[in-house]
Amino acid sequence: MSADSSQSLLPDLLVEIRSVSFGYENNLVLRNIDLTVRRGQVVAILGPSGCGKTTLLRLIGGQLKPSRGEVMVDGLAVPQLDRDDLFQLRRKMGMLFQFGALFTDLSVFENVAFQMREHTDLPEEMITDLVLMKLHAVGLRGAHELMPAELSGGMARRVALARAIALDPMLILYDEPFAGLDPISLGVVSKLIRTLNDALGTTSVIVTHDVATSLDIVDYVYLISDGRVVAHGRVEEIRASSDPFVQQFIKGEADGPVAFHYPTGDYASMIFPGHGD
Amino acid sequence: MLLQPLAGIGGKANGLFSRVGLAGRFLLETVYYSGMCLRRPRLVIKEIYFVGVLSLAIIVVSGLFVGMVLGLQMYDTLDRFGSGEVVGMVVALSLVRELGPVLSAILFASRAGSAVTAEIGLMRATEQISAMEMMAIQPIARVVTPRFWAGVISLPLLTSIFNVTGILGGYLVAVNLLGVDGGMFWSEMQDSVDFRLDIMNGFDKSVIFAIAVSLVAVFEGYHATATAEGVSRATTRTVVISALLVLGLDFVLTAFMFRGI
DSSP string, A192-248: HHHHHHHHHT-EEEEEES-HHHHHHH-SEEEEEETTEEEEEEEHHHHHH---HHHHH
Task: Give, in degrees to the nearest 5, the angle at Cα B134 between B129 and B136.
Answer: 100
Q: In whole angstroms, what is the distance from residue B214 CA to residue B112 CA? A: 9
Condensed to tens digits (0 to 9), the pLDDT of residues A69-85 reads 899 999 889 999 998 89
Q: How many CB atoms lie within 10 A of CB A200?
A: 16
| Percentage above 90 pLDDT, chain A | 33
On whether ipTM exceeds 0.85, the answer is: no
Question: Which residues on adjacent β-strands are paired with residue A172?
Answer: A94, A204
In a domain, B14, yes or no: no
Nearest residue on chain A to B143, judged by CA atoms?
A103
Q: In whole angstroms, what is the distance from residue A98 CA to residue A207 CA? A: 10
B-chain residues near A104 (CB < 8 A): 122-123, 126, 128
Q: In whole angstroms, what is the distance from residue A44 CA to residue B143 CA? A: 33
In a domain, A74, yes or no: yes
Nearest residue on chain A to B36, judged by CA atoms?
A118
Q: In whole angstroms, what is the distance from residue B241 CA to residue B226 CA? A: 20
In sequence order, what are the residues at sequence separation of 6 or more whose Cβ sits closer than 8 angstroms to the Cβ of residue A215?
A: A44, A221, A235, A238, A239, A250
- Which contacts qualify for B74-78: CB closer than 8 Å, 24 or more apart? B74/B170, B75/B173, B75/B174, B75/B178, B75/B180
Query: Which CA distances in Å does A96 have to A102, A163, A188, A268?
Result: 10, 8, 15, 47
Is residue A174 within 8 A of residue A204, CB to CB? The reply is yes
In a domain, B3, yes or no: no
In a domain, A6, yes or no: no
Q: Mean pLDDT lowest for which of A3-12, B213-222, B236-245?
A: A3-12
Condensed to tens digits (0 to 9), the pLDDT of residues B187-207 reads 999 999 999 889 999 999 999
Domain range enclosing B183: 20-258
pLDDT at B36: 85
In sequence order, what are the residues at sequence separation of 6 or more whose Cβ sits closer than 8 angstroms to the Cβ of residue A201?
A: A40
Burial (CB count within 10 angstroms: exposed 0-12, middle 13-18, buried 19+), residue A222:
buried
* Chain B contact for A101 (CB, 8 A cutoff): yes
Q: In whole angstroms, what is the distance from residue A110 CA to residue A127 CA? A: 10
* Chain A contact for B1 (CB, 8 A cutoff): no
pLDDT at A3: 42
Q: In whole angstroms, what is the distance from residue A139 CA to residue A237 CA? A: 34
In a domain, A262, yes or no: no
Domain range enclosing A51: 17-255
Question: Which residues on adjacent β-strands are paired with residue A37?
Answer: A15
pLDDT at B211: 97
Question: Which residues on adjacent β-strands are paired with residue A203?
Answer: A171
Q: What is the mean pLDDT of residues B88-112?
A: 95
In a domain, A112, yes or no: yes
Whether residues B126 and A61 touch (CB distance < 8 A) is answered with no
Asked if the model's pLDDT at residue B17 lies above 80, the reply is: yes
Q: In whole angstroms, what is the distance from residue A77 CA to residue A66 CA? A: 11
Number of domains in chain B: 1
Q: What mean pLDDT is reported for chain A?
A: 86
Q: In whole angstroms, what is the distance from residue A208 CA to residue A214 CA? A: 8
pLDDT at B92: 94
* Chain A contact for B142 (CB, 8 A cutoff): yes
In a domain, A165, yes or no: yes
Whether residues B131 and A63 touch (CB distance < 8 A) is answered with no
Q: In whole angstroms, what is the distance from residue B249 CA to residue B204 CA? A: 12
Is residue A112 within 8 A of residue A128, CB to CB? The reply is no
Whether residues B127 and A97 touch (CB distance < 8 A) is answered with yes
- The pTM assigned to this predicted structure is 0.85
Query: Which CA distances in Å does B53 have to B47, B103, B157, B200?
Result: 9, 17, 10, 23
Sign of the four-CA dihedral A48, A51, A53, A55:
positive
| Residue A159: CATH number of its domain | 3.40.50.300
Which helix (H) or strand (E) covers residue A88, if one does?
helix A83-90
DSSP code, position A29? E
Distance to chain A for B7, nearest Cα, Å:
25
Q: In whole angstroms, what is the distance from residue A132 CA to residue A176 CA? A: 26
pLDDT at A275: 61
Grouping H, G, I as helix, E, B as strand and the rest as coil, residue A44 is strand
- Residue B130 has its nearest CB partner, among A88, A93, A97, at A97
Q: How confident is the model at residue B42 (pLDDT cuts 50, 70, 90)?
A: very high
- Residue B128 has its nearest CB partner, among A90, A101, A115, at A101
Number of domains in chain A: 1
For residues A259 and A234, the model is more confident at A234
